A and B are shown apart, each in its own frame.
Chain A
């Protein structure tokens, strides 16, 4: 498990500024790909169990983000779970705050707090709020849940990094439905104008929003063209391919003079047949019976993956 790369006193990593500093983005070793896939599998299990126990929450957009979050937390980002406020840490901001379960799972699985606490999601007295709360949960950088806002806060964090000449990077995950928000486009203009190349955006293009399909709500494509027109460096990847994600994140680190947006093509509810592309599971928890079926499907896919590889 490669977590907390570049701990506070690790000068070499702090100065390195991420992988592939010498230019070429290295291809991921097969073993690491397997590890990241296993982490994504684990995050999915956690999400389903948490949301079922809470009897509410947002499974669909958490499952679509599993590989994205796994790749960031177990490969790309530098942080120290024992010192979550380490000033040199990379920042991750979940602007699509309703996907809190997958963030909490990643924070627990990287040691920010005990895994057992995940079962207390949304419960009174738990530090795991329905939407991320920076004042309560170790590792949550920014309180989100009102769409569009985390993306703006990320601009400010990246700007502060530039002002201070700090080496940290800022990663911000938005949704394709979230691109409805005008605030996203205010921030898109700002980041490009100020050449915030220490900022990497990721958009989880799962094709659905709260009520229905994105395409039936407001035509959002061509997403790549839109970000490119706003002055961003844009990469278009399969958001469930950890190798593609890791490499894109490395390319973003190498890109100077403009922010990068990684357009991640995903499936909402990914990995669970009855949740995939089903608007019903944007904000609804499965029943215990559905959970059993869902976990069975994840397990089967995992066995096949391991056998196939």
Chain B
């Protein structure tokens, strides 16, 4: 199995939200235009780290997600780079129209960075587990949508968001994430990373599913199947070239995401495949609302493990063979 030089092995790492907190501190030192807002979850989203360092440029707006987005848009209109954070269930969950009217439509320089997305939020249960946020944000024309896999990716994605002029959404997780990357200072919005080379089938994944996809590739490798793994850290704009290459070169796809099927990364990939180079696709995604439990338990219970990804790859290969 040929693995990208950027990754050596999968090791335990920090949560993506921690990398976000660290990135904000670094960015705050570089750029005085950066202002950070939070809706009363700053210890959890890690924006409190920025607040501790730059108290004049940090505002806890209270449990007011609608006002959070409006204030961010007003700051952006006056030349600030506004980062706004909450949990993904609350933002975008409770401020979709605010994101639509005062951020997406005028292309405001607002970065919504939401933590505690997906099932891995864990014990708080279904009301706290966002499985629809990527769909909501994909629907808002003009937003860049990113789902980083690990701390390194999240750190550089945050830097890229600050540099990008316009609306950005970054999806982060609560749980510690398996570390995929040793370094990623070449991070580029909209450019997928081929973390594992292969030509038999392609596994496209993002967020926590990237590590699962690499593990799945190892399982398949033992069976003599060379699976390509693409980290699709940017869902919008999708790396169309990488998807088309994967389809034409490997002829079968799996898309794995910790999100509902509807409106997620899988559907984005499927549209591109349907338009450019039809091929069988199997989807690994959440199919129902969650329950309380540990992150790993929930991923297993909802069929979001490496074994599930490998099984999906075998199905895709079967379908490719039948054509």
Residues of A in contact with B (beta carbons under 8 Å apart): 87, 133-135, 141-146, 148-161, 163-164, 182-183, 186-187, 189-190, 194
Contact = CB atoms under 8 A, between A and B. Distances in A.
B105 interface: yes
A156 B62 contact: no
B293 interface: no
Interface stretch (B72-80, B116-124, B202-210, B271-279): B72-80
Given A163-B56, A163-B80, A155 B106 contact: no
Contacts of B74: 142, 152-160
Contact of A164 (B69, B78, B105): B78
Contacts of B77: 134, 141-142, 153, 156-157, 160
B62 A186 contact: yes
B64 interface: yes
11 contacts: A135-B107, A143-B102, A149-B70, A149-B101, A152-B98, A153-B74, A153-B102, A159-B59, A186-B64, A190-B64, A194-B59
Interface class of chain A by DSSP = helix
Given A135-B107, A143-B105, A189-B64, A155 B71 contact: yes
Contacts of B107: 135
Q: Which 7 A-B pairs have the closest CB atoms?
A: A156-B74, A152-B70, A160-B78, A186-B64, A186-B67, A156-B71, A153-B74
Contacts of A155: 67, 70-71, 74
Interface in B84-137: 97-98, 100-102, 105-107
A143 B98 CA distance: 11
A146 B97 contact: yes
A149 B79 CA distance: 19
B43 interface: no
B248 to A, nearest CB: 39
Nearest to B73: A153
Contact of B106 (A134, A161, A189, A194): A134
A148 B70 CA distance: 9
A156 B76 contact: yes
A153 B73 CA distance: 6
A149 B98 CA distance: 7
Contacts of B75: 156-157, 159-160
Contacts of B269: none
Contacts of A145: 101
A121 B64 CA distance: 35
A145 B69 CA distance: 16
A184 B292 CA distance: 35
B319 interface: no
B164 interface: no
Nearest to A95: B70
B168 interface: no
Interface string B49-61: 0000000110101
Contact of B101 (A143, A151, A160, A190): A143
Nearest to B65: A186
A148 B65 CA distance: 13
A183 B65 CA distance: 9
B212 interface: no
B66 interface: yes
Contacts of B80: 160, 163
